[in-house]
């Protein structure tokens, strides 16, 4: 009798616990949300009854069974109709936030059968597949249906037919309609980089999820906290039997995403009030730029550009084309100008940010990899740009990437999709990602008298897809150098940032997420300003032979930047002021990048084609002269060509030598023998 009392005890205790106000409310909400699981905070259980909490950790299978029964009993009291409806499915109890997380690499034989909490990154997830819980088998002789509860990996048939008059030992047919199924999924967790001991490689652990409310919660790349029971299974070798060393896996009871998902970090009512308060501030743009990477000194215009990049413009989906809303920026700079630090910061603060660096990045790693499964089929694994969908991908050392890997970014930057056609898989994935890239100048330092295309070892096809390009030059200047030195030394002295950011990082992230819901539209004044600027820049190029200053691509960039500025103070419309700010920052970018050094005129062709108009004109002169001489003599002597250019077109010998050298490098002309030239 006493044993029975004791056995019933934990269930009654848990039911007492579920009768507290907080959990009665949670249980009565099940019917409204259509769910079948109740989450219990372990700390609440511990304060209610310490023995109960200890029992749950030591014998989780037994105690979770009591908890599930108690929750169903309590639901019968709160909402009998709903309890009746879901009785077949049962109510499950999930335990969240244990007192401390177990380290993934420390899990061992002592933990088998115990309840633990593990934190890690999801590196792989299988599709959700139905798993049979109770299988119904039909006897082929008498047609009697026998239900069999299923455990383990394989489907088990009954030993004998349940009809006493038949009692045949088979054969049986599986009846799908009469069986009950439940959703299941497998995840692979990997240790978080911050938990790694020095010099160690991250370890992984497989986790098995069962139940429709915990599957498909986490995606690859998410940081998760998983509570579950540690189990071990013996791998089998065909023809030999089971091995003596077992493999650990986690039977998951509850899973929480800790990641920086925009969906999960919606602001609370108090934070929303703070956000709306901030947006009313007339100096909000100044506040946001000051809050971006406060430990990095200066770079106001670059921080402003990063602010626009974080908020982004509005995507327009038309019947025939899609116009992207995300802004792409490129920072080109001398070594030691804090490019990587800025990128790392943006990856941390963006609601979905990813950081990757040049040489170790491949095309498959950026877009999508096709991986052969154990079963022999092929599956797709998402790469960085797909994981950062609706977020920001920071690509450092872009110039160090292999050219054939870099091509993979083209489509993602303009079309915002990633297309894969390999191994029988033809798919198009979304990659609505803003890209912030950094690259070093070709010669180590930025050479002001050479064009941007010569300074950056990136192809023109990629350069023209960046909305804003900035040059970070390390030029000695007494005033700014002394302020910079003070700033850096102050950081080292205090061990914290000397400038207190006006908006804290956590709030800024929520502010950005909140602002993404605002869709600003252009006003007539803003349209007029942008149109005037575009036309003024184009008309400067109308005179014959002058360079093209701006193209339609830059006009679209202007619209995106203006929308981002309106969005950053939660305005529904883009005002003339936003248009002016967009023009100012675009002007700064064009000034640094699109200037033809020989004529000091704006020339967008430097970004579009890699050569300024003046240089293209001179190359054209050299080629036409060469071809004219070639008609006369066949092979052209170099000295004859140089004399001809000097006398007829006033191209100095030094300049002509340099340009001929460039044509030789590009393969437009060649030297059949020493001192002679011919067009290819």
Q: Which of 136, 185, 28 is nearest to 91 (CA)?
A: 28
591 — pLDDT class (breaks 50, 70, 90): confident
Over range 651-674, report the average pLDDT. Answer: 79
What fold is seen in the domain 284-515? Rossmann fold (3.40.50)
255 — pLDDT class (breaks 50, 70, 90): very high
Lowest mean pLDDT among 198-207, 253-262, 422-431: 253-262
Lowest mean pLDDT among 264-268, 348-352, 370-374: 264-268
The residues spanned by each domain of the chain are 2-96, 104-257, 284-515, 521-608, 613-679
Q: Which of 462, 468, 455 is nearest to 611 (CA)?
A: 455
**Between 3.30.1640.10, 3.10.129.10, 3.20.20.70, 2.40.160.20, what CATH number should domain 2-96 receive?**
3.30.1640.10
φ and ψ of 657, to 5 deg: -55, -45
Q: Is the pLDDT of residue 539 over 80?
A: no
Q: CA 122, CA 188: separation in Å to the nearest integer? A: 6
368 compared with 377, residue with greater pLDDT: 368
Over range 370-399, report the average pLDDT. Answer: 82
pTM check: above 0.85: no
Q: Where is 381: in which H helix or E strand?
A: strand 378-382
124 — pLDDT class (breaks 50, 70, 90): confident
Over range 367-381, report the average pLDDT. Answer: 77
CATH class for the region spanning 613-679: mainly alpha
Predicted pLDDT of residue 7: 45
Q: Is the pLDDT of residue 150 over 80?
A: yes
Listing DSSP states for 315-356 in one string gives -EE-SS-EE-----EEEEE-TTSSHHHHHHHHHHHSTTEEEE
Lowest mean pLDDT among 99-108, 228-237, 462-471: 462-471
Is residue 218 within 8 A of residue 122, CB to CB? The reply is yes
537 — pLDDT class (breaks 50, 70, 90): confident
- 104-257 is a CATH 3.10.129.10 domain: no
Q: Is the pLDDT of residue 618 over 60?
A: yes
Strand blocks (E) in 417-490? 417-422, 425-430, 434-439, 468-472
Tens digit of each residue's pLDDT (9 = 90 or more) over 545-579 = 445 556 788 888 999 999 999 999 899 999 999 99
Q: Report CA-CA distances (Å) from 393 to 123, 598, 624.
A: 18, 36, 46
Q: Is the pLDDT of residue 265 over 70?
A: no
Q: Is the pLDDT of residue 154 over 60?
A: yes
Predicted pLDDT of residue 600: 46
What fold is seen in the domain 521-608? Helicase, Ruva Protein; domain 3 (1.10.8)
Query: What value does the mean pLDDT of the chain take?
Result: 83
305 — pLDDT class (breaks 50, 70, 90): very high
Q: Is the pLDDT of residue 631 over 70?
A: yes
Over range 299-326, report the average pLDDT. Answer: 89
């Amino acid at each position: 009798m006493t044993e029975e009392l004791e056995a019933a005890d934990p269930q009654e205790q848990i039911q007492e616990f579920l009768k507290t106000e907080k959990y009665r409310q949670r249980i009565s909400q099940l019917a409204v949300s259509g769910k079948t699981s109740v989450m219990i905070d372990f700390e609440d259980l511990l304060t209610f009854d310490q023995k109960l909490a200890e029992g749950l950790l030591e014998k989780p299978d037994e105690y979770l069974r009591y908890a599930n029964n108690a929750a169903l009993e309590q639901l019968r009291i709160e909402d009998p109709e709903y309890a009746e409806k879901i009785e077949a499915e049962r109510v499950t109890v999930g335990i969240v936030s244990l007192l401390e997380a177990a380290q993934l690499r420390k899990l061992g034989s002592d933990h088998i059968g115990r309840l633990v909490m593990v934190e890690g990154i999801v590196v792989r997830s299988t599709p959700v597949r139905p798993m049979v819980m109770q299988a119904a088998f039909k006897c082929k002789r008498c047609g009697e249906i026998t239900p069999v509860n299923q455990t383990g990996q394989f489907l088990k048939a009954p030993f004998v037919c349940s009809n006493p008059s038949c009692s045949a030992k088979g054969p049986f047919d599986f009846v799908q309609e009469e069986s009950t199924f439940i959703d299941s999924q497998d995840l692979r967790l990997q240790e978080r980089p911050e938990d790694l001991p020095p010099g160690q490689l991250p370890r992984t652990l497989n986790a098995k999820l069962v139940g429709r409310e915990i599957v498909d919660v986490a995606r690859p790349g998410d940081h998760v906290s998983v509570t579950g029971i540690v189990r071990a299974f013996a791998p089998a070798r065909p023809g030999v039997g089971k091995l003596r060393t077992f493999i650990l896996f986690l039977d998951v009871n509850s899973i929480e995403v800790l990641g920086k998902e925009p969906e999960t970090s919606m602001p609370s009512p108090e934070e929303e009030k703070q956000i709306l308060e901030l947006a009313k501030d007339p100096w909000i743009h100044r506040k946001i730029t000051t809050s971006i990477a406060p430990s990095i000194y200066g770079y106001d215009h670059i921080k402003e550009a990063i602010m626009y990049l974080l908020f982004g413009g509005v995507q327009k989906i038309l019947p025939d084309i899609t116009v992207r809303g995300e802004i792409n920026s490129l920072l080109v700079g001398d070594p030691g100008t804090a490019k990587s630090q800025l990128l790392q910061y943006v990856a941390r603060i963006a609601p979905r940010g990813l950081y990757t660096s040049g040489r170790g990045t491949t095309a498959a790693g950026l877009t999508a990899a096709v991986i052969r499964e154990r079963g022999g089929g092929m599956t797709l694994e998402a790469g960085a740009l797909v994981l950062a969908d609706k977020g920001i991908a920071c690509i450092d050392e872009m110039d160090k990437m292999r050219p054939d890997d870099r091509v993979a970014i083209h489509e993602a930057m303009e079309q915002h999709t990633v297309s894969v056609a390999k191994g029988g898989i033809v798919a198009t994935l979304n990659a609505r990602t803003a890209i912030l890239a950094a690259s070093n100048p070709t010669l180590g330092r930025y050479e002001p008298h050479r064009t941007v295309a010569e300074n950056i070892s990136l192809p023109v096809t990629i350069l023209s897809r960046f909305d804003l390009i900035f040059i970070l030059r390390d030029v000695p200047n007494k005033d700014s150098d002394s302020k910079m030195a003070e700033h850096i030394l102050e950081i080292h002295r205090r061990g914290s940032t000397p400038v207190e950011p006006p908006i804290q990082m956590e709030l800024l992230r929520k502010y950005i997420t909140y602002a993404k819901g605002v869709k600003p539209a252009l006003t007539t004044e803003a349209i007029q300003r942008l149109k005037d600027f575009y036309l003024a820049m184009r008309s400067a190029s109308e005179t014959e032979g002058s360079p093209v200053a701006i193209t339609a691509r830059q006009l679209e960039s202007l619209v995106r930047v203006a929308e981002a500025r309106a969005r950053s103070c939660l305005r529904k419309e883009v005002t003339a002021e936003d248009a002016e700010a967009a023009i100012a920052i675009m002007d700064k970018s064009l000034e640094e990048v699109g200037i033809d050094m020989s004529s000091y005129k704006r020339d967008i062709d430097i970004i579009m084609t890699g050569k300024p108009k003046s240089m293209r004109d001179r190359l054209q002169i050299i080629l036409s002269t060469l071809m004219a001489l070639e008609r006369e003599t066949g092979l052209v002597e170099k000295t004859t060509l140089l004399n001809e250019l000097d006398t007829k077109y006033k191209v100095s010998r030094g300049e002509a030598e340099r340009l001929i050298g460039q044509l030789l490098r590009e393969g437009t002309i060649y030297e059949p023998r020493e001192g002679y030239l011919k067009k290819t």
